[in-house]
């Protein structure tokens, strides 16, 4: 036998399978991880093909092949469908196969740092435990142990040690007497709170839920179908997923449910654990390496059939996949920010097509792209226009902050929001205040000359962090973590009028305390949620009712379900609108609609106050009316006339280099090559709307200067050779100067 092995080394030189001899008696399958010689080194690799001697390509002389060193696990780490997926992704992203294969395995498995955890288990031999215990009057500890084991179930030594002090000696004696057997077993490190688990049943479904299921369930049996589930906030979409997963399990198949960020939606995991118990596994970045490895193994070995996880869970090794759900499909977190830059929604579609599974993308505010695809017929649109139990959507009021200022109100809160807050608090209900900014204020700028304090390394404005009004605080760069003291006078012009501009979550919290000194608040932003359990603790503080007001950045916009929240304040709706990104209106609409959706989810109706300096902006108005269709038509038309995606593609070659001249030179060179390429490729050239070499929007990050060659292309098959050409040019990079090819990146920094 000959094995074709992709070595785990990311380099274009080794981006093809190498052939190795399989030694006699070595147990090996497609997808097994192996250790193989490569030149003078030994490296890990993955078996992607198995051939008999006569299938070997003739250019490889069989006597020159070297044998495989060893097999790393006694089961194949990757199943054939995932190998296929890795191959497709490598082709699509123009990157080495070893790079996409890496996505499919837990990092701890590759590095070999984490081992399977073994524990000693004890079991009664074929004897009557009670009778034997009665004989051991002189050895009470041994007798107790026998009684604990008399039901014949195996118990771990660590469990017994909690009931009987130092049981090891006694167990040894019992083993020697042939009364018990002791064996090593693998145990899984678990990320769950055992006490938290209580089983629950599905409630009677609403009419919307039943109709949605009627359109989607038949596809599960047929093993096909791709749906876009558009359901307003609070329409009970989760219950629809649960019903679908239940049927998938009954059919002996498995499911993957992707959520934007698990730490923010602990409720989702709880719902699935309560319904499906031990068959649910979770996969996300906040698990320890050991927990992640063990959850992955539980899925791989079929112990868990339902996976709830963040973006990378799309690669979970679920066998016989029946369903993939992408919850809140509009979220940016589904775009990978590392190379290879994949879009989990696209990967989900691919996997479903490959493996005969059903795809459900779901959101109250679908992305423009997905909704456009649904209209084109790529997805079947399923709508849930009503909230559960005829609860009304919250009532939204837009407040013009310019009028507030004219009337002399310089506070962060409009008169209306302050009044509603007061009413909400005195009724004993809860409120959420939402601000798309973190820190006490976003940046420090000079009112005389406009100077803004920026990070030396990153060319980004620094954020001021203060513990209170008397604290001078410190400036922090959110890209690289650099810290500095805020200046007393402007370093440019010497003016004293250098001050904190705008308002952040800390300032909202402070003003809140000025207005209502007795009210307990919780602040959730990137600074208060660093630890492993920080999210869960803060959410619990609020969920339990110990705090009455939750103040946060966009992270509180996502799927939270707190029944006592009746008021939501959007403190500054314009912030995202002013971002230099063609998706700014889409983001703004999504954020306002999503946060508004947190209000009035139970029996008491919700109210929303949206504060803005642009009360006539059509996207703010559509959000206030929670009218997705109106927003979609508006935005789709704007994208068509402005030639933005999905009508066009934005692609760039990004150069990062420690010296500026080097970065610029490389970008200019890439620009020249692209121009030459286009001159000799007329059909491709016709699809190019714009090409230019330029500084990247953020000129420096972590000391690396950044330049790019930016192209705007019509989304047309003729344009794809251009992307291939761009991807090939990344090979011109070296150790100093990196080149990345990005197509429609999540953010264009």
Footprint of ligand ADP (CB under 6 A) = 203-206, 209, 231, 233-239, 388, 559, 561, 601
Q: Distance between CA atoms of 533 and 261, rounded to whole angstroms?
A: 13
* Residue 466 C-beta: closest distance to Zn ion, Å: 19
Rule CB under 5 A: say whether 479 interacts with Zn ion.
Answer: yes
- Looking at the Cβ atoms of 202 and 643, the one nearer to ligand ADP is 202
* Residue 494 C-beta: closest distance to Zn ion, Å: 7
- Looking at the Cβ atoms of 238 and 704, the one nearer to ligand ADP is 238
- Looking at the Cβ atoms of 492 and 540, the one nearer to Zn ion is 492
Rule CB under 5 A: say whether 483 interacts with Zn ion.
Answer: no
Q: Distance between CA atoms of 600 and 658, rounded to whole angstroms?
A: 52
Q: Distance between CA atoms of 483 and 501, rounded to whole angstroms?
A: 18
Interaction partner, residue 480 (ligand ADP, Zn ion, none; CB < 5-8 Å by kind): Zn ion
Rule CB under 5 A: say whether 489 interacts with Zn ion.
Answer: no
Interaction partner, residue 100 (Zn ion, ligand ADP, none; CB < 5-8 Å by kind): none
Interaction partner, residue 333 (Zn ion, ligand ADP, none; CB < 5-8 Å by kind): none
**391 φ/ψ angles, rounded to the nearest 5 degrees:** -65, 140
Q: Residues 6 or more apart from 527 whose CB is under 8 A from it?
A: 438, 439, 465
How far is the first Cα of the chain from the last one, in angstroms, to the nearest whole number?
A: 50
Q: Distance between CA atoms of 558 and 260, rounded to whole angstroms?
A: 8
* Residue 318 C-beta: closest distance to ligand ADP, Å: 23
Q: Distance between CA atoms of 350 and 395, rounded to whole angstroms?
A: 40
Rule CB under 5 A: say whether 215 interacts with Zn ion.
Answer: no
Among 285, 495, 578, 676, binds Zn ion (CB under 5 A): 495
Q: Distance between CA atoms of 446 and 202, rounded to whole angstroms?
A: 58
* Residue 394 C-beta: closest distance to ligand ADP, Å: 12
In whole angstroms, how large is the CA radius of gyration of the chain?
Answer: 30
Q: Distance between CA atoms of 326 and 678, rounded to whole angstroms?
A: 38
- Looking at the Cβ atoms of 242 and 729, the one nearer to ligand ADP is 242
- Looking at the Cβ atoms of 60 and 493, the one nearer to Zn ion is 493
* Residue 654 C-beta: closest distance to Zn ion, Å: 18
3-state SS string for 605-627: CCEEEEEECCCCCHHHHHHHCCC
CB neighbours of residue 151 within 10 Å:
9
Q: Distance between CA atoms of 720 and 714, rounded to whole angstroms?
A: 10
* Residue 455 C-beta: closest distance to ligand ADP, Å: 38
Contact between 358 and 227 (Cβ < 8 Å): yes
CB neighbours of residue 729 within 10 Å:
18
Rule CB under 5 A: say whether 288 interacts with Zn ion.
Answer: no
Interaction partner, residue 446 (ligand ADP, Zn ion, none; CB < 5-8 Å by kind): Zn ion
* Residue 565 C-beta: closest distance to ligand ADP, Å: 12
Query: Which window, 112-120, 492-500, 577-585, 678-686, contacts Zn ion (CB under 5 A)?
Result: 492-500
Angle formed by the axes of helices 237-250 and 266-276, nearest 10°: 40
* Residue 370 C-beta: closest distance to Zn ion, Å: 34
Q: How far is CA 288 from CA 106, 152, 527, 562, in A?
A: 11, 34, 21, 28
**Count, residues near Zn ion per rule CB under 5 A:** 15
Interaction partner, residue 203 (Zn ion, ligand ADP, none; CB < 5-8 Å by kind): ligand ADP
Rule CB under 5 A: say whether 475 interacts with Zn ion.
Answer: no
* Residue 476 C-beta: closest distance to Zn ion, Å: 9
* Residue 381 C-beta: closest distance to ligand ADP, Å: 16
Which residues in the 15-54 window bind Zn ion by CB under 5 A?
Answer: none
Number of continuous H segments (helices) and E segments (strands) in the chain: 24, 30
DSSP characters over 387-428: -GGGPPPPEEEEEEHHHHHHTT--SSS-HHHHHHHHHHHHTT
Which residues in the 428-447 window bind Zn ion by CB under 5 A?
Answer: 446
Rule CB under 5 A: say whether 453 interacts with Zn ion.
Answer: no
- Looking at the Cβ atoms of 93 and 463, the one nearer to Zn ion is 463
Interaction partner, residue 558 (ligand ADP, Zn ion, none; CB < 5-8 Å by kind): none
Q: Distance between CA atoms of 328 and 594, rounded to whole angstroms?
A: 10
Task: With H, G, I as helix, E, B as strand and everything else as coil, classify residue 382.
Answer: strand
Q: What is the DSSP letter of 631?
A: H
CB neighbours of residue 532 within 10 Å:
11
Among 215, 247, 267, 448, binds Zn ion (CB under 5 A): 448
* Residue 602 C-beta: closest distance to ligand ADP, Å: 7
Interaction partner, residue 422 (Zn ion, ligand ADP, none; CB < 5-8 Å by kind): none
Interaction partner, residue 594 (ligand ADP, Zn ion, none; CB < 5-8 Å by kind): none
Rule CB under 5 A: say whether 493 interacts with Zn ion.
Answer: yes
Query: For binding to Zn ion (CB under 5 A), which residues are involved?
Result: 446, 448-449, 451, 455, 457-458, 477, 479-480, 482, 490, 492-493, 495
């Amino acid at each position: 036998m000959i094995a074709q092995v992709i070595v785990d080394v990311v380099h274009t030189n080794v981006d093809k399978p190498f052939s190795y001899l399989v030694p006699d008696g070595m147990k090996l399958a497609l997808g097994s991880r192996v250790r193989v010689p490569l030149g003078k080194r030994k490296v890990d690799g993955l078996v992607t093909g198995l051939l008999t001697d006569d299938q070997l390509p003739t250019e490889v002389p069989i006597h020159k092949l070297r044998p495989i060193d060893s097999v790393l696990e006694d089961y194949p780490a990757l199943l054939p469908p995932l190998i296929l997926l890795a191959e497709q992704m490598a082709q699509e992203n123009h990157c080495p196969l070893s790079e996409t294969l890496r996505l499919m395995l837990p990092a701890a498995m590759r590095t070999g740092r984490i081992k399977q955890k073994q524990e000693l288990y004890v079991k009664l031999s074929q004897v009557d435990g009670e009778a034997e215990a009665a004989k051991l009057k002189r050895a009470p500890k041994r007798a107790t142990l026998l009684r604990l084991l008399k039901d014949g179930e195996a118990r771990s030594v660590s469990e017994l040690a909690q009931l009987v002090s130092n049981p090891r000696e006694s167990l040894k004696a019992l083993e020697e007497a042939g009364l018990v057997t002791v064996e090593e077993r693998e145990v899984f490190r678990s990320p769950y709170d055992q006490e938290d688990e209580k089983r629950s049943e599905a409630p009677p479904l609403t009419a919307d839920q039943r109709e949605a299921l009627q359109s989607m369930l038949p596809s599960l049996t047929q093993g096909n179908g791709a749906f876009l589930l558009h359901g307003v906030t609070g329409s009970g979409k989760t219950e629809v997923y649960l019903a679908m997963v239940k049927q998938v399990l009954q059919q002996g198949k498995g499911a993957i449910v992707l959520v934007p960020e698990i730490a923010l939606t602990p409720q989702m995991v709880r719902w699935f654990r309560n319904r499906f118990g031990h068959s649910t596994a979770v996969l996300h970045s906040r698990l320890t390496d050991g927990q992640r490895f063990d959850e992955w193994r539980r899925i791989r070995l079929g112990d868990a059939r339902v996976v709830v996880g963040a973006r990378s869970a799309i690669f979970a090794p679920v066998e016989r996949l029946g369903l993939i759900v992408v919850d809140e499909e509009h979220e940016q977190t589904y775009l990978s920010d590392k190379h290879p830059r994949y879009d989990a929604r696209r990967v989900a579609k691919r996997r479903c097509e490959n493996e005969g599974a059903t795809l459900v993308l779901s959101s109250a505010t679908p992305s423009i792209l997905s909704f456009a695809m649904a209209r084109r017929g790529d997805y079947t649109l399923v709508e849930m226009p009503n909230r559960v139990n005829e609860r009304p959507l919250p009532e939204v009021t837009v407040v013009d902050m310019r009028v507030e200022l004219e009337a002399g109100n310089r506070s962060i809160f409009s008169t209306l929001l302050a009044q509603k807050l007061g009413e909400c608090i005195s009724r004993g209900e809860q409120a959420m205040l939402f601000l798309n900014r973190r820190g006490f204020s976003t940046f420090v700028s000079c009112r005389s000359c406009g100077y803004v304090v920026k990070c030396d390394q990153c060319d980004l404005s620094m954020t001021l962090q203060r513990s209170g009004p008397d604290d001078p605080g410190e400036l922090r760069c959110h890209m690289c973590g650099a810290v500095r003291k805020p200046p007393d006078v402007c370093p440019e012009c010497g003016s004293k009028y250098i001050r904190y501009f705008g308002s952040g979550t800390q300032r909202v919290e402070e003003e809140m305390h000025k207005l209502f000194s007795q009210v307990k608040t919780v602040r959730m932003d990137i600074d208060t949620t660093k630890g492993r359990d920080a999210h869960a603790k803060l959410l619990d503080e609020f969920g339990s009712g110990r705090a009455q007001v939750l103040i946060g950045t966009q992270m509180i916009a996502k799927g939270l379900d707190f029944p006592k929240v009746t008021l939501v304040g959007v403190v500054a709706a314009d912030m995202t609108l002013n971002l230099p990104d063609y998706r700014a209106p889409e983001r703004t609409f999504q954020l306002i609609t999503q946060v508004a959706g947190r209000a009035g989810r139970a029996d008491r109706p919700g109210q929303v106050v949206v504060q803005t300096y642009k009360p006539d902006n059509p996207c703010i108005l559509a959000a206030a009316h929670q009218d997705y269709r109106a927003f979609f038509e508006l935005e789709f038309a704007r994208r068509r006339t402005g030639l933005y995606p999905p009508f066009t593609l934005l692609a760039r070659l990004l150069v990062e280099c420690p010296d500026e001249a080097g970065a610029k030179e490389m970008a200019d060179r890439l620009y020249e090559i692209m121009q030459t390429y286009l001159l000799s490729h007329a059909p491709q050239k016709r699809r190019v709307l714009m090409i230019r070499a330029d500084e990247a929007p953020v000129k420096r990050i972590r000391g690396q200067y950044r330049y790019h060659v930016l192209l705007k292309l019509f989304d047309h098959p003729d344009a794809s050779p251009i992307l291939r050409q761009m991807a090939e040019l990344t090979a011109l990079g070296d150790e100093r100067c990196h080149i990345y090819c990005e197509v429609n990146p999540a953010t264009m920094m």
